[in-house]
Chains A and B, each alone.
Chain A
Amino acid sequence: MGRFWFLLVGGLVLLVMLLSPWAVPLREFDGTGYLLNPLGAINPKGLSLPEGLAFNWLGVAFGFWVLLVLAAGGALFLPNAETRARVLYILGGLGLAIFAVEAILFYQAIHAANEAAVAAGARRPPLRRFALSLGVYAGFFYALGLLLLARMQLPGGLAFLVRFRGVVVPIVSLLLAVVLGAMVVAILRPGLGTQGVEGLGLRELIAGKLDLVTYTFQILFSPILNLTGIFTSLGFATPLIFTGLAVAFGFRAGMFNIGAPGQLTMGAIFAMLAGVYLPFPSWLLLPSAILAAALGGALWGGLVGWLKARFGANEVINTIMMNYIAASVLLFLIAANEYRFFGQTVRLPFKAEGFEGRSEEIQEGARIPLMIHILAPDSTFSWALPLAVLAGLGVYYGLRRLELGRRLLFALGALVLGFVVGGFLPGFPVTISSALASQLLNGSFLIAVMALLFYNFYLFRTSAGYELRATGLAPKAAEYAGVNLRQKMVLAMLISGALAGLAATHYVLGAGMDGTYRLKTAIPSSVGFDGIAVALMGQNTPLGIFLSATLFGVLLAGGVSLNAQLGISNQIIQVLQALIILFIAVGGLLPRYFTDPLRAAQVETEAKAEQEARQARSAPAAGD
């Protein structure tokens, strides 16, 4: 990458700063805002700020950024790489400092104005929706870019990036998807606050569009800002963890499982049948209902694995066909009671009374409680779960010396002990807001975490998992080493399907769909497809899957308010997912040494050799 590209980026950043809103101190519910900009505020709808609120520092800050960009551009022409890196590090740090000062100044001014207004007798603070905006963010990302560029100047800089390609590729893909998604939004919707206003200049129109785009993503990411939002997000993330694990498990074993929607549906049907009809006592009922969900998914996935192993039938098309068939089975069971078979009337008992297609209610004993009830039953914080998790993890990581099986056993014991002891410890009362109490995040989230642990343990700590991964990486080599490929195909699809089926525990047993403990025809089976994005984004690693599922959970939760506030369909999240999948598939448009392991290894060895040569050269000099 040439220096001139970098200069171009610097110019672009300054241009964005000139055109975009830097911060929005005041915003209406429909999105119309008062946009601050160094060239003067942009305010087409004529909103008025409270008396005495002024942001005179914007011009000064912009001046600093111009100097910074110029200095960074000049620094790249320094002859010595180490000086270059040092100067760029300093400039990047300075940029971050300017960003921090901007943020502090802005939020302080807002709070001061609000407090003044309340002291003067206002019933509510006048400024309720306010945030930094694109102009300030642009500086922040430019400063981060400078730090990265500084690292790139030092020896082994490229190898450094390549070594972290498992993180670099998803992040670059996410950024590209966000930019493209922003363009889609900007094309389709009018700029905020510019609709229906006559005689606007180009500057207002551009700022309005940029504000629209920024605000869209601010809303999408807003759920992370409060506890209720985090609960909502994790509720959306729970099924995504399951389906992401399902798809990733298939990938690891060299199978592309696009059948998670069908496997989820089958799991839901089995869970419903067990949860409604099994005449078990409650201690046995819940585990069997959960197992039934896994079993339903495993059957649906395993069948495809068997078809591939036995007949060589392509699993991609077969899993898709199984999705449609599962949807038909679901409708058949709970959309109607009466059917005509060859002139005979057949009655099915599964559909409950009423217009909607839904099953009977799950028995009390088979219901998974809400997370809020697990954490704080009867509005009293309980130590049971936190202590159990702490004890389990502590023992697992404390007993590293022990052989793995015993270590697990002890950890499990500590977990149970922690749960029991924590249950007896006196908790403390907490107040739960009604918004938080209505969140549908339930105990299924804990099952999802256990599924993550299982995935990690099975694939990376057992020989069976090792064989499975070997099958995925190099089937012929694995077969030569004695792995039974056909058996592994069936096994991989069985487990993958079971993981997808477990997602049904969230919807059916945990009432994660709409708060009712029933199976409904409207069960959102398409989260099975979302699992593909989760698996790719998480690079098939357990931590990655958890993080990317949470990210998509946040976006889905934000999509609800986006629809309510700006009238943009929450389908935008599906498009973002599709774009992320596409960009990861093309390796984030990055050079091939980021995607091709062989070339990556080449880059890393070259860097290592270079470093050793450098040390060899400097060693005699030090010895003198």
Chain B
Amino acid sequence: MEIVIALFFSTLRQAAPLLLTALGGLFSERSGVVNIALEGMILFGAAAAAITVNRIEVATGGLEAFWIPWVGLLVGALVGGLVGLVHAVASIKYRADQIVSGTAINIAALGAPSIVLQVLYNNTSTSQEVQNRLPNVDLGPSSVSILVIFAFLLVPVVWWVLFKTPWGLRLRAVGEHPEAAETMGVNVIRMRYTAVILSGVLAGIAGAYLSIGFLNQFIRAMSAGAGFIALAALIFGKWHPFGVLGATLLFGFAQALAIQLQGGDILPATIVQALPFILTMLVLAGFIGRSRPPAAVGKPYDK
């Protein structure tokens, strides 16, 4: 029983960053822009959050105050949004191949934090540990970061925004048939910009969760594929918030299971670590259900 509870909470913790990122990706892809840069946006957000909190601590001489991690979270979200803006400008204004542009951001996310870390901490792989982490919420047997709660509460909100508001309808129209939406007076370009930046903000929050919520420092490439798995969850979840919720819970469970199995004598850790990725491939091959992407996804819009 104890192990079931531990597994349950571990699943929540592992699923939360996937969920945040996937919900962000949902906006982007529903508007017609492929966002393979989610992985990089998580990393930029994580680095920005951890470095901000650490710098505030250094400047204030190790102050511990409730507002410090929130500032870190804000900066992480902003930096994520900025990276989203870069992707948006490249793929909307300059009609770049969206996958190439996203790949560039992912590669930059491996190198750029290291240069900053080298200047600040004289090493290229980790930041200093922070004292001020985002608060945890007590849930009886265990506690989870407040962002985990936020991630799960966000699901119905996103569903409501996408399917019950005029803005959501326009967003979906832009991703399915931009010409038709334009004829009806929707500003396709602005909708896409908003959606991609929003996806960056959510991925940045997911990154902040990793660096100052789940852990207490930034580690190079700490997202370990979360952005890509979130993309797979998006496909598996049929581009629908509740589907995405189910998919990320499944992937989160696989990761939690991998952690539980590590050090045990059932399967070697190196094999277990590959399980979520194998699961993702099985999902993509359609062994577990088929799904149809938004019709205009990946196509630059030309007036």
Does A311 lie within 8 Å of B280, measured CB to CB? Answer: no
Chain A residue with minimal CB distance to B283?
A313
Contact pattern, B 96-117, Cβ under 8 Å of A = 1, otherwise 0? 1101110111011011101111
Chain B residue with minimal CB distance to A589?
B94
Within 8 A of B (CB), among A398-422: none
Does A578 lie within 8 Å of B277, measured CB to CB? Answer: no
Give the distance to chain A from B258, nearest Cβ to Cβ, in Å: 11
Chain B residues lying within 8 Å of A317, measured Cβ to Cβ, are: 228, 231-232, 235, 280, 284
Given the complex of chains A and B, what is the CA–CA distance between A582 and B37 in angstroms?
Answer: 12
Interface residue B267 (Cβ < 8 Å from any Cβ of A): yes
Interface residue B137 (Cβ < 8 Å from any Cβ of A): no
Does A342 lie within 8 Å of B90, measured CB to CB? Answer: no
Given the complex of chains A and B, what is the CA–CA distance between A322 and B100 in angstroms?
Answer: 19
A312, A313, A328, A579: the one contacting B104 at CB < 8 Å is A579
Within 8 A of B (CB), among A131-184: 184
Chain B residues lying within 8 Å of A310, measured Cβ to Cβ, are: 285
Interface residue B136 (Cβ < 8 Å from any Cβ of A): no
Chain B residues lying within 8 Å of A578, measured Cβ to Cβ, are: 104-105, 107-108, 111-112
Q: Contacting chain B: which of A204-212, A269-277, A433-441, A563-571?
A: A563-571
Interface residue A331 (Cβ < 8 Å from any Cβ of B): yes
Chain B residue with minimal CB distance to A335?
B270
Contact pattern, A 527-539, Cβ under 8 Å of B = 1, otherwise 0? 0010011001000
Does A579 lie within 8 Å of B108, measured CB to CB? Answer: yes
Interface residue A341 (Cβ < 8 Å from any Cβ of B): yes
Interface residue B153 (Cβ < 8 Å from any Cβ of A): no
Interface residue A316 (Cβ < 8 Å from any Cβ of B): yes
Give the distance to chain B from A275, nearest Cβ to Cβ, in Å: 22
Chain B residues lying within 8 Å of A340, measured Cβ to Cβ, are: 264-266, 268
Does B101 lie within 8 Å of A585, measured CB to CB? Answer: yes
Interface residue A575 (Cβ < 8 Å from any Cβ of B): yes
Does A331 lie within 8 Å of B270, measured CB to CB? Answer: yes
Given the complex of chains A and B, what is the CA–CA distance between A331 and B118 in angstroms?
Answer: 28
Given the complex of chains A and B, what is the CA–CA distance between A575 and B95 in angstroms?
Answer: 22
Does A188 lie within 8 Å of B225, measured CB to CB? Answer: no
Across chains A and B, the number of contacting residue pairs, with CB separation under 8 Å, is 156
Give the distance to chain A from B263, nearest Cβ to Cβ, in Å: 10
Interface residue B58 (Cβ < 8 Å from any Cβ of A): no
B96, B105, B124: the one contacting A571 at CB < 8 Å is B124
Chain B residue with minimal CB distance to A315?
B284
Interface residue A307 (Cβ < 8 Å from any Cβ of B): yes
Chain A residue with minimal CB distance to B94?
A586
Interface residue A118 (Cβ < 8 Å from any Cβ of B): no
Does A324 lie within 8 Å of B104, measured CB to CB? Answer: no
Within 8 A of B (CB), among A570-593: 571-575, 577-579, 581-582, 584-587, 589, 592
Contact pattern, B 228-270, Cβ under 8 Å of A = 1, otherwise 0? 1001100100000000000000000000000000001111101
Does A575 lie within 8 Å of B286, measured CB to CB? Answer: no
Does B104 lie within 8 Å of A582, measured CB to CB? Answer: yes
Within 8 A of A (CB), among B93-152: 94-97, 99-101, 103-105, 107-108, 110-112, 114-119, 124
Does B114 lie within 8 Å of A586, measured CB to CB? Answer: no
Assuming the contacts A184-B115, A321-B277, A567-B118, asked whether A339 and B105 have C-beta atoms less than 8 A apart, the reply is no
Give the distance to chain B from A536, nearest Cβ to Cβ, in Å: 7
Assuming the contacts A317-B232, A332-B270, A581-B107, asked whether A342 and B265 have C-beta atoms less than 8 A apart, the reply is yes
Chain A residues lying within 8 Å of B274, measured Cβ to Cβ, are: 324-325, 328-329
Does B268 lie within 8 Å of A341, measured CB to CB? Answer: yes
Does A311 lie within 8 Å of B285, measured CB to CB? Answer: yes
Contact pattern, B 69-105, Cβ under 8 Å of A = 1, otherwise 0? 0000000000000000010011000111101110111
Does A307 lie within 8 Å of B285, measured CB to CB? Answer: yes
Interface residue A52 (Cβ < 8 Å from any Cβ of B): no
Given the complex of chains A and B, what is the CA–CA distance between A328 and B273 in angstroms?
Answer: 7
Give the distance to chain B from A476, nearest Cβ to Cβ, in Å: 15
Interface residue B278 (Cβ < 8 Å from any Cβ of A): yes
Chain A residues lying within 8 Å of B94, measured Cβ to Cβ, are: 585-587, 589
Does A324 lie within 8 Å of B225, measured CB to CB? Answer: yes
Does B270 lie within 8 Å of A532, measured CB to CB? Answer: no
Chain A residues lying within 8 Å of B97, measured Cβ to Cβ, are: 585
Given the complex of chains A and B, what is the CA–CA distance between A373 and B94 in angstroms?
Answer: 49
Assuming the contacts A314-B284, A341-B268, A536-B100, asked whether A571 and B90 have C-beta atoms less than 8 A apart, the reply is no
Does B107 lie within 8 Å of A577, measured CB to CB? Answer: yes
Does A575 lie within 8 Å of B100, measured CB to CB? Answer: no
Give the distance to chain A from B153, nearest Cβ to Cβ, in Å: 28
Within 8 A of B (CB), among A318-351: 318, 320-322, 324-325, 328-329, 331-332, 335-336, 339-343
Chain A residues lying within 8 Å of B228, measured Cβ to Cβ, are: 317, 320-321
Interface residue B281 (Cβ < 8 Å from any Cβ of A): yes
Give the distance to chain A from B88, nearest Cβ to Cβ, in Å: 12
Assuming the contacts A582-B104, A587-B94, asked whether A321 and B268 have C-beta atoms less than 8 A apart, the reply is no
Does B281 lie within 8 Å of A532, measured CB to CB? Answer: no
A188, A258, A328: the one contacting B103 at CB < 8 Å is A258
Interface residue A380 (Cβ < 8 Å from any Cβ of B): no
Interface residue B271 (Cβ < 8 Å from any Cβ of A): yes
Interface residue B36 (Cβ < 8 Å from any Cβ of A): yes
Does A332 lie within 8 Å of B108, measured CB to CB? Answer: no
Within 8 A of B (CB), among A266-324: 307, 310-314, 316-318, 320-322, 324
Does A571 lie within 8 Å of B284, measured CB to CB? Answer: no
Does A341 lie within 8 Å of B107, measured CB to CB? Answer: no
Q: Which of A313, A317, A567, A574 has the most CB of B within 10 A?
A: A317
Interface residue A561 (Cβ < 8 Å from any Cβ of B): no
Chain B residues lying within 8 Å of A324, measured Cβ to Cβ, are: 224-225, 274, 277
Chain B residue with minimal CB distance to A190?
B119
Given the complex of chains A and B, what is the CA–CA distance between A340 and B262 in angstroms?
Answer: 11
Given the complex of chains A and B, what is the CA–CA distance between A188 and B267 in angstroms?
Answer: 45
Does B284 lie within 8 Å of A313, measured CB to CB? Answer: yes
Chain B residues lying within 8 Å of A582, measured Cβ to Cβ, are: 86, 90, 96, 101, 104-105, 108
27 contacts between A and B (CB under 8 A): A184-B112, A188-B119, A311-B284, A311-B286, A317-B284, A320-B225, A320-B228, A321-B232, A324-B224, A328-B273, A329-B270, A332-B271, A340-B265, A341-B267, A341-B268, A342-B267, A343-B265, A526-B110, A529-B110, A569-B117, A569-B124, A574-B107, A574-B110, A575-B108, A575-B112, A586-B90, A586-B94
Supplied contacts A320-B225, A572-B115, 15 more A-B pairs, CB within 8 Å: A317-B280, A321-B228, A325-B277, A336-B270, A526-B110, A569-B114, A571-B110, A574-B110, A577-B107, A578-B104, A578-B111, A581-B104, A582-B86, A582-B90, A585-B97
Please report B residues at the A interface, Cβ cutoff 8 Å: 36, 86, 89-90, 94-97, 99-101, 103-105, 107-108, 110-112, 114-119, 124, 224-225, 228, 231-232, 235, 264-268, 270-271, 273-274, 277-278, 280-281, 284-287
Please report A residues at the B interface, Cβ cutoff 8 Å: 184, 188-189, 256, 258, 307, 310-314, 316-318, 320-322, 324-325, 328-329, 331-332, 335-336, 339-343, 526, 529, 532-533, 536, 567-569, 571-575, 577-579, 581-582, 584-587, 589, 592
